[in-house]
Amino acid sequence: MKERLIDGVIAKMSGVLSPQHLFVLRRALDDELTEFDVTSAPEGVEKARKANDDLAAQFISAKRIEGCSEKTLSYYENTIRAFLDETSKELHDVTTNEIRKYLSDFQAKRNSSKTTVDNVRRILSSFFSWLEDEDYIVKSPVRRIHKVRSETTVKETISDEHLEKLRDTCTEVRDLAMIDFLVSTGVRVGELVTLNRNDIDFNERQCVVLGKGNKERTVYFNARAKVHLQNYLATRTDDNQALFVSLAAPNNRLTISGVESRLRQLGKQANVCRIHPHKFRRTLATMAIDKGMPIEQVQRLLGHCKIDTTLHYAMVNQTNVRIAHRKFLG
């Protein structure tokens, strides 16, 4: 509220005073009001909250028009609502220090990782930048809050030996087809569960998936995945159009949680730790780069907008780094 009061005075005096005098006036007002607690009237708090909620809803609508998925929109909305619940100010009065304190308290109360805190910072930055672009505020207070640095960890991939163990563990032809389809296409689990039988082009060993942002891309599978997929579909007696369905009647389309649960179960049976759908995607990226596929093509295969994301997925084999060093620099 104090910042808003000062901004109002500065705005009214901007036509009379020079920029230098306005700067001095701002500092003087800030110093003089330091000992005063300037707050909104109780009815003003409710008004501020309503105004903030309306702007948050407009932001979510804008993101929906941009093509964000409902899952992403829900994450955005929950994050922004949590922040708005902690402030009684209108958004144009929120300061950088208040957001810093919110992020610090968020991490302390929830014992959150640095990655989680940075995700909150990133979403608030997007929200306030939108408010600035739409002229609801003069300048985003998140601009001066930099990316939260987190430790870079080497993400695990699935070795050839562990892949064979997983295959040997499969007693259902569906599971075998699912494993080989995941590791040869690198599709996201959300893309996998939306595929239908008629989406598969067995002649070209390819299919079109609908990825993030409702963007279509073509992915490809190998001969092994083709054979296992055809064997699986030949055993199906249901009329469900889904590519992968549950084993028990009424053979409903597999869900994301269903795929994750089944892969965890297979991993435990094969004595292979931490098996989940995304690990197959990371494995494909790493294998492709190790075998010499240009990073731009791997990016296209995975459907990444930014090449930096692809580099995070792919762990380059250290042996290949040594060979490349000797080839180019030795």
Tally of domains in the chain: 2
- For residue 205, the cross-strand partners are none
User: Is residue 258 predicted with pLDDT exceeding 60?
Assistant: yes
Q: What is the spatial distance between Cα 209 and Cα 213, in angstroms, rounded to a whole number?
A: 12
Question: Residue 126 has what pLDDT?
Answer: 96
Same domain membership, residue 164 and residue 89? no
Element (H, E) at 203: none
State the residue range of the domain holding 218. 160-328
Question: 28 lies in a domain?
Answer: no
Same domain membership, residue 85 and residue 196? no
Beta strand extents in 156-202 (DSSP E only): 200-201
Given 114, 133, 152, the domain boundary residue is 133
Q: What is the CATH number of the domain that holds 178?
A: 1.10.443.10
Question: 152 lies in a domain?
Answer: no
User: Is residue 170 predicted with pLDDT exceeding 80?
Assistant: yes
Same domain membership, residue 323 and residue 185? yes
Question: 254 lies in a domain?
Answer: yes
**Tally of CA atoms within 13 A in the half-sphere of 122 that contains its CB:** 11
Among positive and negative, which fits the CA dihedral 258, 279, 79, 210?
negative
Question: 86 lies in a domain?
Answer: yes
Question: 97 lies in a domain?
Answer: yes
By mean pLDDT, which of 94-98, 125-129, 149-153, 270-274 is the weakest? 149-153
User: Is residue 40 predicted with pLDDT exceeding 70?
Assistant: no
User: Is residue 185 predicted with pLDDT exceeding 60?
Assistant: yes
* Rounded average pLDDT over 111-135: 94
The more confidently predicted of residues 41 and 291 is 291
pTM: 0.67
Same domain membership, residue 276 and residue 204? yes
Same domain membership, residue 81 and residue 218? no
Q: What is the CATH number of the domain that holds 89?
A: 1.10.150
Same domain membership, residue 177 and residue 285? yes
- For residue 209, the cross-strand partners are 217
Same domain membership, residue 164 and residue 121? no
Same domain membership, residue 308 and residue 203? yes
CA angle, residues 152, 154, 159, in degrees to nearest 5:
170
Among positive and negative, which fits the CA dihedral 84, 109, 151, 161?
negative
Question: Residue 28 has what pLDDT?
Answer: 83
- The tens digit of pLDDT for each residue in 237-253 reads 999 999 999 999 899 99
Same domain membership, residue 43 and residue 175? no
* Rounded average pLDDT over 250-272: 94
Given 133, 151, 178, the domain boundary residue is 133
Question: 43 lies in a domain?
Answer: yes
Same domain membership, residue 307 and residue 218? yes
Same domain membership, residue 90 and residue 44? yes
Residues 68 and 62 sit within 8 Å (Cβ to Cβ): no
Question: 6 lies in a domain?
Answer: no
Given 133, 168, 184, the domain boundary residue is 133
User: Tell me, what amino acid is at 303?
Assistant: G
Same domain membership, residue 194 and residue 98? no
Question: 112 lies in a domain?
Answer: yes
Question: At a CB cut-off of 8 Å and minimum separation 6, what does 31 contact?
Answer: none
User: Tell me, what amino acid is at 221?
Assistant: F
Closest C-alpha among 116, 159, 180 to residue 315: 159
